[in-house]
Chain A
Amino acid sequence: MVFSALFFLFFFFVLCMALVYVHKSLRGQNAVLLLFSLIFYAWSGPMLLLLLCGMTFLCWLSGRILGRVTSPAHRRLVLAGTVTLCVLIFCFFKYTGLLVSTLQTIFRFESAVPDIVLPVGISFYTFQLLSYVIDVYRGQTPPQKNYLMLLLYAALFHQCVAGPIVRYSDICAELQCRTVSLSNISAGITRFSLGLAKKAILANYCGTLVASALAADKLAGASAGTVLLGTVFYMLQIYLDFSAYSDMAIGMGLMCGLHYCENFRYPYCADSITDFWRRWHISLSTFFRDYVYIPLGGNRKGRLRQVFNMFVVWLLTGFWHGASWNYVLWGLYYFVLLTAEKLLLRKPYAAVALWRKILRRCFVLVAVWFGWMIFYFEDLSLLGTAVSCLFGRNGFWDMTSRLTLLNNLFFLLVAVAACTPIVPTIARRLHRAGERAVLWQGVAGTVSAVMPVALLFLSFLALVGNTYNPFLYFQF
């Protein structure tokens, strides 16, 4: 089930929220959230629920042991054992197919590649559980005594399948004690409906344009303009889609009195690659920073060690995104860019001239755009074809590119605007300007109250006849 499915919106979510609000006690609310989270997860395959419950049990048990054991050696052993087991389970489900097919290619042996179903959201909940165990080991959070509470944290349907990767330490207090206020529900509704609209109206349609422009069988004959437009639409799609899920998760959390971390901060407005990764999938970047980069020594052990640490982080980042070599290449591409930025581009970046700032932002956009090309084409030969098309192998501009642009011109402008803070900034300025005018307050209040319903209706229109409702994160 995905958040943008009508069944989720008009049945599952409504029922869940009604039962949450019916229960006045926190225990009852948590019980409803847990029940619905387990149903939500089981919807993708009831057997996969056993894995989630099993891994949570392992981490819960480990947390309990860590809470009692005081010997550092024993604590390290428990931590190492739990992390190894979790990572092995995660790797088995995610990378066995890639490993076998790669070995087949190298050693040329005949064997069927095992068809292992990738449990949905495994990359997210494994990392969440790892963060819990490590935080307990570090003494940053108390061990959870109640298994069901930890299961609620790992399985919570708001963020279980598409993030953000919520740290246990960030949410444990609210899981156990929170109030649901009308202002929070109101803020959650706004956030949720914006996310839903981003996904249903913008991201899904971008996806259809990408599928049409970059179809594998037509790519060889595509003009540079068509490939450029297809990849730009993909760049828009992946941000709008991914950030939409985070928006919806944050919105649903607010409606239940839970505050999740922000996962995106307009990453396409970044002025450096480092800045981009401070704005893109923040929960993943900070996870790798706190649990891999800093424990490895970060930048405290010399330049060479720092480069090595970055290499490890970006290799893992690449692998995390999918079981295919293009994701690894994509991770290493960022390793090269970030290393170059840290070692070579400090001086140019320090310049304050406006044109240099603009140039830098353009460079970031182009670099990120090319990164998404690597990310999109799992078949690297197709990436080669796309690049050669961009150099004009089949001409630079043709009927297809002209019509793709003209037919979707206004949509493109709206989608680009949705990737920038332009609309919230204008709204804020208008609000400030008219703050004291009663009429303005009335208009702003009405717009604010009506907007979620209007977005819900427009999203419904976009979803009801749309068979193209992709879930991009199954490979995550």
Chain B
Amino acid sequence: MKTEFEKPSLSQATPTEQVPSRPQRGWTMTDLCKVLAFFITLAAAFVVGLLLFLRPAVSEVEGRELTAFPEFTWERFADGTYFADITTWYADTYPGRDRMISMQHRLKELYGIRQEQLIKPPTTPPEDEGNVERWSDGLYIKGGSAFEIYIYDDEKASRYAEVLNLARERMPNVTVYSMVVPLSYSVYMNRKEWESIGASDAADSIARIYGKMGQGVHTVSVLPELMAHQKDYLYFHTDHHWTARGAYQAYRALCREMGIAPKELEDWEHLTFTGFFGSQQSKVPDVALKEDYVEAWVPSATNRMTVYTWDGDQKIVADDWPIIRKETGNGAEIGCYYGPRWKYNCFIAGDHPLTVIEKPRLQDGSKILVVKDSYGNAFSPFLVDQFQTVYVADIRSFVGRMGISLPEYVEREGITQVVFVNNINTVSTPWLVGCMEGLLQ
């Protein structure tokens, strides 16, 4: 011990002067191969990480923009967030990320027996819900399909019904229809199944919601029509929307309520877009869901519409677009990319504040307004052949963007029928119901 104390600082000592070192075994060929393989792999990963031009900006698998390189500020430098952001940027945009994520998802399938999965939302929705587009009570995955769960809430149901009653009151000269669309679980699962995952009885819930609406609101029962065709492809496996086939059954139910004869699917041109992986797949990227395809039926009278949308200068501009966009891929025409995640946007080009479809040959003055969430996108094209003008207003953006209330717009345009098309989870999302209330002020 004494000699060690007297040893001078050894920072400059050569290895030959070293203190007794640990016994070391000699190296083997395996050691050499291991060291070479490991460091060559790391060096390759290092070089790939430096190839900035290979770094993606968007993740197709996750359906989001990837983290951008952070901007430098002294404040962020001092508290370390600048460095933390660089670390995030580096990982988030690493070349080949999407392919690796897909491989990881396939690997995770081996973690257990995964025919069925139940994914509950991580937190309750915030009160203001400003950033929550739509709330659901979880996902149940079975047989390669993701089912959204709905839980009935009487208070929320009452508020939605009050909004419809207000619509009737504020637009006394039009016929108001309410169409609450059930979720896929209520069509494809039996009572025992949906009870076991804690979901509510959709038929009973819709009946209760309709029961709270006044006499003047025409309620449209969609569930029986859907149940009668439950063997059909009515809802997507990987997306929270219904398919156009599902929407067609709702169209038939509306026609019955209106007292008009519905057209048959065979009357329209039929299109199919394959390779669709929708919003639910993005929520559970590590679960292999069944690939979807999007079917669309092109209106006979016209396939053109005027879309009022928000341009880069934050002004409303009117554009002439197709109702059913036939091409997929990079859509230069509407500036919208229909990648695997976005194929549902082939219906009326997705969500926009207002869409107006004029049928040039018909001059009977029939005008219908669809006030909708995104379920209305697949539904609206079916109305085109039977009305002179079909207006489609999005509940989230109509008032904010168009600068006019719904009753004023209805009066100005001489609209005689208004259909509210919303899925049952929209009814449970206070922010969205608040948007609808805002439409009527």
Binding site for B on A (CB under 8 A): 1, 5-11, 13-15, 17-18, 26-27, 30, 42-48, 117, 139, 142, 144-146, 149, 173-174, 176-179, 181-186, 189-190, 193, 205, 211-212, 215, 217-218, 259, 399-400, 403, 405-412, 445, 448-450, 452-453, 456-458, 460-466
Contact = CB atoms under 8 A, between A and B. Distances in A.
B315 interface: no
Interface string B85-127: 0110011001001001101100100111110111110111000
B260 interface: no
Given A183-B31, A218-B120, A26 B21 contact: no
B43 interface: yes
Contact of A43 (B83, B91, B111): B83
Contacts of A185: 31, 35
Contact of B42 (A13, A400, A412): A13
B38 A407 contact: no
A464 B24 contact: no
Contacts of B48: 10
27 contacts: A6-B90, A7-B90, A26-B13, A42-B83, A44-B80, A47-B78, A142-B7, A176-B9, A178-B18, A181-B24, A182-B32, A183-B31, A186-B27, A217-B123, A399-B118, A399-B198, A400-B118, A405-B112, A407-B112, A407-B114, A407-B116, A409-B111, A411-B111, A461-B100, A464-B91, A464-B101, A465-B62
A176 B11 contact: yes
A6 B95 CA distance: 12
A251 B253 CA distance: 68
B283 to A, nearest CB: 13
B228 interface: no
Q: Top 7 A-B pairs ranked by shortest CB distance?
A: A176-B10, A45-B80, A465-B101, A186-B31, A177-B18, A182-B27, A411-B111
Contacts of A183: 24-28, 31
B112 A411 contact: yes
A445 B32 CA distance: 11
Contact of A149 (B11, B101, B112, B285): B11
A448 B9 contact: no
B29 interface: yes
A179 B117 contact: no
B120 A179 contact: no
Interface of B: 4-5, 7, 9-15, 17-19, 21-22, 24-35, 37-39, 41-43, 45-46, 48-49, 61-62, 77-80, 83-84, 86-87, 90-91, 94, 97, 100-101, 103-104, 107, 110-114, 116-120, 122-124, 196-198, 285
Contacts of B198: 399
Nearest to A149: B11
B87 A5 contact: yes
Contacts of A461: 100, 103-104, 107
Contacts of A30: 11
A45 B15 contact: no
The SS class assigned to the A binding surface is: helix
A178 B11 CA distance: 10
B413 to A, nearest CB: 45
B37 A449 contact: yes
B35 A182 contact: yes
A209 B117 CA distance: 13
Nearest to B6: A142
A215 B42 contact: no
B118 A27 contact: no
B107 A10 contact: no
A7 to B, nearest CB: 4
A153 B78 CA distance: 25
Q: Which of A177, A406, A412, A456 has the most CB of B within 10 A?
A: A177
Contacts of B84: 43-44
Contacts of B4: 142, 173
B18 A403 contact: no
A26 B124 contact: no
Contacts of B18: 177-179
Contact of B112 (A399, A409, A464): A409
B15 A177 contact: yes
A45 B77 CA distance: 7
A5 B83 CA distance: 12
Contact of B30 (A400, A449, A462): A449
A412 B112 CA distance: 9
Contact of A145 (B9, B29, B78, B120): B9
B21 A14 contact: no
Contacts of B101: 464-465
Contacts of B46: 10-11, 14-15
Given A11-B90, A47-B78, A217 B41 contact: no
A450 B33 CA distance: 8
Given A7-B91, A186-B31, A456 B41 contact: yes
B110 A448 contact: no
A194 B378 CA distance: 51
Q: Which of A14, A139, A145, A190 has the most CB of B within 10 A?
A: A14
Given A43-B84, A146-B11, A190-B34, 17 more contacts: A5-B87, A6-B91, A14-B43, A14-B46, A42-B80, A45-B79, A47-B78, A47-B79, A176-B10, A176-B19, A177-B15, A400-B120, A410-B111, A460-B45, A462-B104, A463-B91, A465-B97
Q: Which of B9, B17, B80 has the most CB of A within 10 A?
A: B80
Contacts of A452: 34, 37-38
Given A146-B11, A149-B11, A177-B13, A403 B116 contact: yes
Contacts of A179: 15, 18, 21, 24
Given A7-B86, A182-B31, A177 B10 contact: yes
Contacts of B39: 17
Contacts of A27: 11-12
Given A17-B39, A182-B35, A45 B285 contact: no
A465 B196 CA distance: 32
Given A399-B197, A464-B94, A9 B45 contact: yes
B197 A410 contact: no
Contact of A403 (B12, B118, B123, B124): B118
Nearest to A21: B39
Nearest to B10: A176
Contacts of B29: 445
Contacts of B24: 179, 181, 183-184
Contacts of A11: 46, 49, 90
Contacts of B100: 460-461, 464-465
A457 B30 CA distance: 19
A59 B417 CA distance: 82
A409 B116 CA distance: 13
B30 to A, nearest CB: 4
A18 B39 CA distance: 9
A462 B105 CA distance: 9
Given A445-B29, A465-B104, A46 B111 contact: no
A176 B13 contact: yes
Contacts of B34: 186, 189-190, 448-449, 452
Nearest to A410: B112
A403 B90 contact: no
Nearest to B198: A399
Contact of A217 (B7, B87, B94, B124): B124
Contacts of A46: 77-78, 80
B36 to A, nearest CB: 9
